[in-house]
């Protein structure tokens, strides 16, 4: 299947709408041959046209478009395509026409704008064609998030993200820029040294702008791919530069048991982390092998026990629905195992097909089970176990157009996850591949400051990294004036 768009200044909405029905379908610059399967969509004169050619059959729908309409032509074309593709494929995407990553944000923003609950409901169910189940889940999550968002939505509020782009091995579903420790171990110490310098510079920028730190998140990659001494250096730098006693949440991903041990878990606790993440993805040894993990399910259980022994009282565990070789029954067994451990958070991700991942490169993308059934099971079992959903996001090319949901025991919501997904306040991002997002909600202004993507470039061009940090104070001076903290 190919996508051919014509006659539009931008075809973004139409392209991503079509991919709800045909994931990974490429956009072609030339009209496909008459015998090729394709969706052709565009504007010619005042006529919008969408044609589906598939398996030797063709269906076309047209509509008149007026330049005076409030809806842009790309959006109108996407709406037209949705009706045609839903009828002729038999597929009803669970989120309907919604293609964005933040459906809960739509509810939060509508409420902030004074829209009634009935208006919001009608927009989701009728205009967007979202299923009642998905809308109910999104509305419940918005209710849970409301008090947390109020606490962190001030003009000068922010969170700090610190990225560790190293892993002991590369998982088959991953497309992130991360370095394999077997090959790039010599980069780790120089990287940590520069990272500490950048953290100190962020502290200076935040202090000059009068910012208030709410959460810290050390993610990856795999942060525990650092040695225990490197973790001490990094987390000691964080403790030296920021007032941890006033931070609402401090998370460190200790995701993989093949590089997380009792000493590192003790260091993470000693240096102030309040929340960690141990991510099995699955408790099937066979599925772990297929995705490239160098550990067993028993290693995950042992790592979890070590974390509890080290005094960690707020633990998240990630599972992925739809991994190659997994089954609905196997996923349910993994979920039941995670629930039996009694962590404070369980996050259920739906597998996303990323072009740079080994799953796509090696042609494993058709080897998945019924992920919709997996998510239905997760909702039922997690609710029965006393967990509630607290954040949700979607990604392009997620299996069956589904979503990722964070579940927690009441009172254990992951604040950072909410803040970054709902764009509540600025996220200052340190490390290779870091994307600082500066947010001023009152003026609806968002500005990004990018770091170099690869660790080698981050290290060699570090002076430029520091120079870009000046964008933080410049942003706040422009948006809300500088207020130096005492």
Task: Please give the Cα distance from 426 to 156 (Å, whole number).
Answer: 8
Q: What percent of the chain has pLDDT over 70?
A: 92
Lowest mean pLDDT among 102-111, 291-300, 421-430, 461-470: 291-300
Give the model's pLDDT for residue 486.
27
Bigger pLDDT: 292 vs 449: 449
Give the model's pLDDT for residue 361.
47
pLDDT digits (tens, 9 = 90+) for 348-380: 999 886 554 555 545 555 556 689 999 999 999
What is the DSSP track for 122-158?
A: HIIIIIS---HHHHHHHHHHHHHHHHHHHHH-STTEE
* Averaged pLDDT for residues 456-463: 96
* Beta-bridge partner residues of 458: none
pLDDT digits (tens, 9 = 90+) for 203-229: 999 999 999 999 999 998 899 999 999
Give the model's pLDDT for residue 399.
80
Q: Which two tokens stand for residue 299?
A: 């290693």
Task: Please report where in the chains the tokens 């130096």 appear, as a residue.
Answer: 484
| Domains in the chain: ranges and CATH | 2-89 (3.30.160), 103-148 (no CATH), 149-472 (3.80.30.20)
Give the model's pLDDT for residue 237.
98
pLDDT digits (tens, 9 = 90+) for 72-95: 999 999 999 999 999 999 999 999
Nearest CA among 23, 17, 93, 92 for reference residue 48: 17
């Amino acid at each position: 299947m190919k996508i051919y768009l014509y006659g539009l200044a931008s075809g973004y909405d139409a392209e991503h709408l079509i991919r709800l029905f045909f994931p990974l379908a490429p956009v072609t610059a030339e009209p496909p041959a008459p015998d090729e399967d394709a969706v052709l969509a565009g504007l010619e004169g005042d006529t919008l046209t969408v044609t589906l050619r598939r398996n030797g059959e063709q269906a076309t729908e047209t509509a008149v478009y007026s330049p005076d309409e409030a809806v842009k032509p790309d959006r109108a074309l996407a709406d037209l395509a949705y009706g045609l593709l839903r009828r002729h494929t038999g597929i009803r995407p669970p989120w309907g026409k919604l293609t964005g990553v933040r459906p809960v944000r739509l509810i939060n923003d509508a409420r902030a704008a004074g829209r009634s609950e009935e208006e919001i409901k009608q927009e989701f169910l009728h205009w967007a064609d979202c299923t009642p189940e998905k809308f109910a889940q999104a509305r419940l999550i918005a209710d849970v998030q409301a008090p947390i968002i109020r606490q962190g939505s001030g003009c000068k509020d922010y969170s700090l993200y610190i990225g560790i782009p190293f892993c002991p091995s590369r998982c088959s579903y991953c497309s992130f820029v991360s370095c394999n420790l077997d090959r790039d171990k010599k980069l780790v110490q120089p990287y940590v040294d520069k990272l500490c310098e950048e953290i100190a510079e962020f502290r200076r920028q935040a202090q000059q702008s009068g910012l208030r730190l709410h959460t810290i998140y050390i993610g990856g990659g795999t942060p525990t791919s650092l040695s225990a001494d490197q973790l001490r250096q990094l987390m000691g730098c964080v403790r030296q530069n920021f007032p941890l006693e006033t931070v609402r949440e401090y998370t460190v991903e200790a995701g993989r048991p093949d590089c997380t041990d009792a000493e590192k878990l003790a260091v993470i606790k000693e240096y102030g982390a309040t929340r960690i993440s141990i991510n099995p993805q699955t408790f099937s040894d066979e599925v772990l092998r297929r995705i490239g993990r160098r550990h067993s399910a028993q290693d995950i259980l042992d790592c979890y026990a070590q974390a509890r022994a080290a005094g960690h009282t707020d633990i998240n565990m990630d599972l992925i629905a739809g991994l190659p070789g997994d089954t609905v029954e196997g996923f349910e067994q993994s979920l039941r195992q995670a629930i039996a451990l009694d962590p404070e958070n369980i996050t259920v991700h739906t597998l996303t097909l990323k072009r740079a991942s080994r799953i796509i490169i090696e042609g494993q993308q058709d080897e998945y089970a019924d992920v919709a059934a997996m998510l239905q099971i997760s909702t039922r079992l997690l609710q029965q176990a006393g967990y509630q959903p607290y954040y949700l996001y979607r990604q392009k090319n997620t299996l069956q157009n589904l979503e990722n949901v964070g579940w927690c025991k009441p009172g254990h919501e992951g604040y950072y996850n909410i803040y970054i997904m709902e764009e509540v306040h600025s996220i200052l991002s340190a490390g290779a591949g870091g994307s600082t997002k500066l947010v001023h909600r009152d003026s609806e202004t968002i500005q990004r400051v990018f770091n170099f993507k690869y660790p080698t470039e981050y290290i060699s061009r570090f002076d430029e990294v520091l120079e870009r940090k000046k964008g933080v104070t410049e942003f706040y001076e422009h948006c809300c004036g500088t207020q130096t903290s005492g």
